[in-house]
A and B are shown apart, each in its own frame.
Chain A
Amino acid sequence: MTKGLLALKNGDTGKVKSIQAGRTATKRLYEMGFNTGAPVKIIKNDSGPVIVYLNGCKVALGRGLAEKIILDI
């Protein structure tokens, strides 16, 4: 099953399937480790940017951007 990152709750995990943002943003996300198959864990998703765990590193993502990251659950 796939879901946009924004639809996940705190503690949920998933793997990056695809990113549907513009070319620069997509590339940047890939380069920061949101590449295909990367495991992501949601730390905080309430208001403001979403915070996720990615490879043992905390990354904050604007909500608009988080919405465009599609995860395999």
Chain B
Amino acid sequence: MSSGTIALVGNPNSGKTTFFNALTGSNQYVGNWPGVTVEKKEGSFTYRGKEYHVVDLPGTYSLGAFSEDEIVARDYILTGNPDVIINVIDASNVERNLYLTTQLLEMGKRVVIALNMVDEAKRRDIEFDIQGLSKRLNLPVVPTIASKEKGIEDIIKVAIQVMEKKPPVKSPLKYNEVIEHHINHMEEVLKGENLPYPLRWTALKIIEGDREVIKKLNKSILNQKAINYIKDFFKYHSSGDFELEIIDARYAFAHSIVDGTINRPEEDVITITDKIDKIFTNKYLGVPIFAIIMLIVFQLTFALGQDTLGGVVAYLVEGLGSLIESFLLGINAPGWLIAFMIEGVINGVGTVIEFVPIITVLYLLLGFLEDSGYMARAAYVWDDLMRKLGLQGKAFISMIIGFGCNVPGIMSARTLDNKKDKMITILINPFMSCGAKLPIYSVFIAAFFPNHGGLILFSLYTFGIIVGLILAKIYSKTLFKGESSYFIMELPPYRIPTIKNVLRNMWDNVYGFIKRAGTTIFVVITLLWVLAVLPASAQPYGEFSILGRIGAFLAPIFKLAGFGTWQESVALFAGIPAKEAVIGTLGMLYASEYVEEGALLVNAIRQHFTSLTTLSYMAMTLLYTPCVATLGIIKKETNSYKWMIYMALSSFVIGWIVAVLIFQIGSLLGFS
């Protein structure tokens, strides 16, 4: 039983995620908010024998209705009734962070302030009068360094005190006479209504011209008189008249709080971030540095994940296979069960599991990049080029996230507020090669290009980016014309990622991979196995099995691309539920031909492919129809089956064309 709920609210880059991790440790889980795909992170901690629930709200600059993130955060604060809000504030940037605080106070909530990353602020010679701040705000203010878990216990103590005793503080912020006058009148009119939100806040939001709130009010509870009053109000004042004045007033309030309680040096201290940025955002060096960083990521992924650690898990899986086999033989298990366990589960699902190390390293490195603050710079240096292609720099972040997995990559397109940017970003994301495709590449690379693993990986990912960008250009000229939205992005200081955050991120992804192996891939492999051993009259895994016949029917499609055998075709289709199944299927179907010793699947691949067909097959797996989870998220985010089907078919055709071109041109040039 939870003793209370704490909500975490803060700006992007205020260290909120680190704070959440410090607060909840490993007791956390991720879900989605009802109805939307915004991530919902929840967790809990125990303090003095009582358990408390923590909800981490999306990081936002404001609580207007600017984006889905803001609406989710706002709705939860107003209607989810958290018992107390911890407002995480970046100590180097208090004034802007207080803008959000003023809105929390206007909502009439219990708030405590975590003045986070005070160490970073001290390095910039910023001085604080914490008591003064607290007094002026009439709120508890606790200095914290979440990355070092400092001050966490203090803030827990304070938050629980506030939760249990104090009534919410009334917002000390007053607007100018005109606005206050309008607010008061609006309050009069709304009084007695069954409002879903606090009275003054609702009145203020109407005057601000907040469309979300007005829409909600119009729909339900207002009597005719109030509706008419609001209508009249907007007859005399166009929506948005007071919007900027209200923002100015909130900032003036924030300024009055920090004036005299926070001392910034006259000249901002030149930080390491400034020095690094001079190079990383340089107009000539920015893009090459990005390329070098990505090259290092893939070299390391392959060197550590495959060459160094790859064999370990493979060895374990094989060992487990022999153990299971001897156990089943020992208990006189039926032949079909042994065949299923060894040829289906171990050769199929087990083959996928062997790639846990390489996946782990990739997610470790991507998480490190994401946490370091570099992503914002990548968006920055790509903005120019992206604009020429009809997009904007921020879309590039979605693409890099897609390297890990296309689902969050597509979800992150939500941060783009223009429909055109959002749609194009979604539609090109599946061409960003994801972690699930890594096992496929790894096997083929090990078979044909063992000495250039990192480089081939890098080229594949780059190739995906290029295809995506070409399509972006085409889409922006045809399907989605119009201006790309403006680019505005905070460049947070570079930070050394905390081990906890990076490991957390890695584990969530690796766990997802292992879970898929045990669920989706297991089901796919089981189905295929049954089809491969039936009918009993045919040779198992042979071309006269049901699966063989299906494959033989599909195979001619891929003749021109050079890989027209039935196994290779079946594997591609098996990869649509989850990409790893491509390798699982090949592992199962080639099993009967395994050479006695050594890397089995790799040897089978060497017999069935050439270096040229390897390239065309990898290009096909890179580009063709995205996995079911990705298709699902495309449907959800575009709110249309049409786009989902379009994506499934168009990517198949694009993949096929590219694979055919590679094979045909390669053959003409005399490669094999």
Contact = CB atoms under 8 A, between A and B. Distances in A.
Contact of A60 (B66, B491, B493): B491
Given A44-B281, A49-B393, A59 B489 contact: yes
A31 B66 CA distance: 10
Given A32-B488, A56-B268, A38 B384 contact: no
Interface in A4-30: 21, 23-30
B487 A32 contact: no
Interface in B252-295: 264, 268, 273-274, 277, 281, 283, 286
Interface string A22-63: 011111111111011110010110111101011111111110
Nearest to B63: A31
A65 B99 contact: no
Given A27-B247, A48-B380, A60-B383, 4 more contacts: A25-B488, A27-B244, A48-B383, A56-B126
19 contacts: A26-B244, A27-B66, A31-B247, A32-B490, A33-B96, A33-B251, A36-B248, A41-B268, A48-B286, A49-B383, A51-B281, A53-B268, A57-B90, A58-B273, A58-B490, A60-B491, A64-B486, A65-B486, A65-B488
A56 B93 contact: yes
A34 B277 CA distance: 22
Contacts of B244: 26-27, 30, 35-36
Nearest to B66: A28
Given A27-B244, A30-B247, A62 B92 contact: no
Q: Is the interface of A mostly helix, strand, loop or mixed?
A: mixed
Interface of B: 61-62, 64, 66, 90, 92-93, 95-96, 99, 124, 126, 240, 243-244, 247-248, 251, 264, 268, 273-274, 277, 281, 283, 286, 376, 380-381, 383-384, 387, 392-393, 417, 486-493
Nearest to B392: A62
Most chain-A CB neighbours within 10 Å: which of B64, B92, B281, B283?
B281
A61 B485 CA distance: 12
Q: Assign chain A's interface to a size class.
A: 35 or more
A57 B240 CA distance: 27
A62 B393 CA distance: 9
Nearest to A18: B244
A36 B243 CA distance: 13
Contacts of A48: 281, 283, 286, 380-381, 383-384
Nearest to B485: A25
Given A30-B247, A58-B491, A24 B99 contact: no
A59 B190 CA distance: 40
Contacts of A24: 66, 417
A8 to B, nearest CB: 17
A51 B277 CA distance: 10
Contact of B93 (A28, A44, A55): A55
A68 B256 CA distance: 28
Contacts of B417: 24
A57 B488 contact: no
- List the 6 closest pairs (A to B, CB-CB), nearest first: A62-B487, A58-B491, A65-B486, A30-B247, A33-B96, A31-B62
Contact of A35 (B61, B93, B247): B247
Nearest to A26: B244
A55 B95 contact: yes
A31 B481 CA distance: 29
Interface of A: 21, 23-33, 35-38, 41, 43-44, 46-49, 51, 53-62, 64-65
Contact of B383 (A25, A41, A57, A62): A62
A65 B483 CA distance: 12
Nearest to B258: A55
Contacts, number: 113
A59 B61 CA distance: 13
A30 B488 CA distance: 12
B488 A27 contact: no
B486 A21 contact: yes
Contacts of A51: 277, 281, 380, 491
B588 to A, nearest CB: 50
A51 B274 CA distance: 11
B243 A27 contact: yes
Contact of B488 (A28, A55, A56): A28
Given A36-B248, A44-B281, A61 B488 contact: yes
B493 to A, nearest CB: 8
B384 A47 contact: yes
Contacts of A44: 281
B289 to A, nearest CB: 14
Nearest to B487: A62
B61 A57 contact: no
A64 to B, nearest CB: 6
A31 B383 contact: no
A49 B247 contact: no
Nearest to B488: A61
A60 B240 contact: no
Contacts of B61: 31-32
B486 A27 contact: no
Nearest to A50: B487
A35 B254 CA distance: 12
Contacts of A21: 486
A60 B486 contact: no
A53 B251 CA distance: 17
A62 B86 CA distance: 33
A31 B100 CA distance: 9
A18 to B, nearest CB: 9
B486 A57 contact: no
Contact of B486 (A33, A53, A58, A62): A62
Given A30-B247, A35-B251, A55 B96 contact: yes
A25 B216 CA distance: 24
A1 B220 CA distance: 50
A35 B250 CA distance: 10
Nearest to A30: B247
A54 B99 CA distance: 14
A67 B384 CA distance: 16
Most chain-B CB neighbours within 10 Å: which of A25, A43, A62?
A62
B124 A56 contact: yes
B389 to A, nearest CB: 15
Nearest to B243: A27
Nearest to A68: B486
Contact of A27 (B64, B277, B487): B64
Most chain-A CB neighbours within 10 Å: which of B243, B251, B283?
B251
A53 B384 CA distance: 21
A56 B493 CA distance: 10
Contacts of A59: 488-491
A58 B61 CA distance: 15
Contacts of A56: 92-93, 124, 126, 264, 268
Most chain-A CB neighbours within 10 Å: which of B376, B393, B488, B489?
B488
